[in-house]
A and B are shown apart, each in its own frame.
Chain A
Amino acid sequence: MNVIKRASSGTMESSDVYVEIEPAQSGLEILLESVVKKQFGEEIERTVREVLSEEGVESASVRVVDRGALECVIRARVETAVRRGRGEA
């Protein structure tokens, strides 16, 4: 299920990630900034897409500002942003 409103989760603290999600016309647009983009950029984008897919989000605009978060943190932050965007949380 797609998001119905703009929502965010996370912080800009080191080892955390800030995620912003908003409704989009069609498809997924993911904008990634990361302090470890050179080392983990592809993994981070894959993790974000996996969570969106698990949540059934087919179209959304997502901004991810990563400060070196572990994969489990990224998963939790994306999931939270999605649920907030649906008005569930």
Chain B
Amino acid sequence: MTKLVKSIREVIELCGLKDGMTVSFHHHLRNGDHVLNLVMAEIAELGLKDIFVNASSLFDVHTPLGEHIKNHVVTGIGADYISAGLGRAISRGIMEKPVEFRTHGGRPADMARGSSPVDVAFVAAPTADPMGNCTGKIGKSACGSLGYAFADAMYAKKVVVITDNLVPYPLEGFSISEDFVDYVVQVDAIGDPKGIVSGTTRITRDPVGLVMAETAARVIDASGLLTDGFSFQTGAGGATLAAAKFLKEIMLKKGVKGSFGLGGITAYLVDMLRAGCFERLLDVQCFDLDAVESLRTDPRHQEISAMHYASPVAKSAAVNSLDVVLLGATEIDCDFNVNVHTDSQGSIMGGSGGHSDTAAGAKLSMIIAPMFRARLPIITDRVTCISTPGKDVDVLVTQGGIAVNPRRADLRDRLLDAGLNVVDIRELKEKTERITGTPRALPRGDRVVAKVISRDGDVLDEIYSIPEMK
């Protein structure tokens, strides 16, 4: 038998894709991804309509989707994260049906539950063999982990592997195995390596960011969790990366031997692994080339699937063994609900990703955010959109003080004992507004443009359109 098919167009026909069906994509090639655009262009050429696109994330490289939406080729979108360019178009109302936002754990969970079925999954594979065994660790478009694509391969009715590096069977060290794969297509380039690592952030040099980062590390130190066996995840934002650097210094000074670093893996976590801060890295997505190289060469650095990472219906997921996660926020309210979906103008520019999965799973979930950005206070009466519910958020670190969720009186007492500047979140809000003034509430549009679906499968919140600027 052969699974090799000459073109994307032919494979779409072989899969029997029809109007109204669902196709899926994963985002490890990030803003360098070519596969989604290549496939959707062929789907449009074939005259198909009413397609639902289920992507683990969408980046600005995917703005051609806007045309497919206008032409009714695409009428539904599901994603865990949508970057600002495409997000703005959605916030202005180009879709008739609301976008479905899920989390990195909720997306595979809904596929497993059957509530989010996929007809054809397209797996962008930096290296594959003719039977579909594939990996992201090698090849000219190497992206490292293929974590989010496992669920697509396991649950879609048809699975297509698209690669630009076809190697003889059987591929050594495959991630996704041939038993899930129907077809393999070779193309010139699945992505642009420059865009694959485009989202990488460097450690902040902003003094406010450094103050927050150092405070965050001190909070972890005072939390009682920083003992041998410690586990940790951090986002790729400048301040959270700086916090990882301060944390590393504390761990080395105290001789703490952690167990694992989790999540989207950056050079900074690789550095902590090599310095002996952790025994393992569990990697659902590589953020930079150092992480790709480490995953390829260091057996302590292991690829995991999105289910293993964060699925609430998995028999267990790594987030449930996590001690501390550092996360960002565009807004947080006095009930500790966090928004990471919309910007200060109410326009979509992100999404939960693993935010609410890790917040729910970790023993200590910490938000690091400045008191205000460009005059707009971070703490609001009510967030524009609930991305992560306040019950899962333990502490907010700002440059003006540390606010502890009242549910965590134990943590508050530990931080006070350590001499840290603990303040009530309402006082912190008032203190901020004495500096910035009190912003007028934004008018919101009259249409629901997106639904935020919690990791448990319920609608957590709705995002409204933004009214046109005068």
Contacts and interface: CB of A to CB of B under 8 A. Distances in A.
Interface of A: 14-15, 35-36, 38-40, 42-43, 67-71
B442 A39 contact: yes
Interface of B: 344-345, 373-376, 435-437, 439-440, 442-443
Contacts of A40: 375, 437, 439-440
A36 B440 CA distance: 10
B219 to A, nearest CB: 26
Q: Looking at chain A's contact residues, is the secondary structure mostly helix, strand, loop, or mixed?
A: loop
A52 to B, nearest CB: 19
A35 B437 contact: no
Contacts, number: 37
A69 B373 CA distance: 9
Contacts of A35: 374
Contacts of B435: 70
Given A14-B374, A36-B344, A40-B439, 14 more contacts: A35-B374, A36-B376, A36-B439, A38-B442, A38-B443, A39-B376, A40-B437, A40-B440, A42-B440, A43-B437, A68-B373, A68-B374, A68-B375, A68-B376
Most buried by B among A39, A42, A43, A70: A39
Contact of A67 (B344, B374, B437, B440): B374
A36 B442 contact: no
B374 A36 contact: yes
15 contacts: A15-B374, A36-B374, A36-B375, A36-B376, A36-B439, A38-B440, A38-B442, A39-B375, A39-B440, A40-B437, A40-B439, A40-B440, A68-B374, A68-B376, A71-B437
Contacts of A14: 373-374
A39 B439 CA distance: 5
Contacts of B345: 38
Most buried by B among A35, A36, A70: A36
B466 to A, nearest CB: 10
Contacts of A39: 344, 375-376, 439-440, 442
A39 B436 CA distance: 11
Contacts of B373: 14-15, 68
Contacts of A43: 437
Contacts of B436: 70
Contacts of A68: 373-376
Most buried by B among A35, A38, A40: A38
A9 to B, nearest CB: 18
Contacts of B443: 38
Contacts of A38: 345, 440, 442-443
B375 A70 contact: yes
A11 to B, nearest CB: 13
Contacts of B374: 14-15, 35-36, 67-68
Contacts of A15: 373-375
The 8 A-B residue pairs whose C-beta atoms are closest, nearest first, are A68-B374, A39-B439, A68-B375, A39-B440, A15-B374, A14-B374, A36-B375, A43-B437
A80 to B, nearest CB: 19
Most buried by A among B374, B375, B440: B375
Contacts of B344: 36, 39
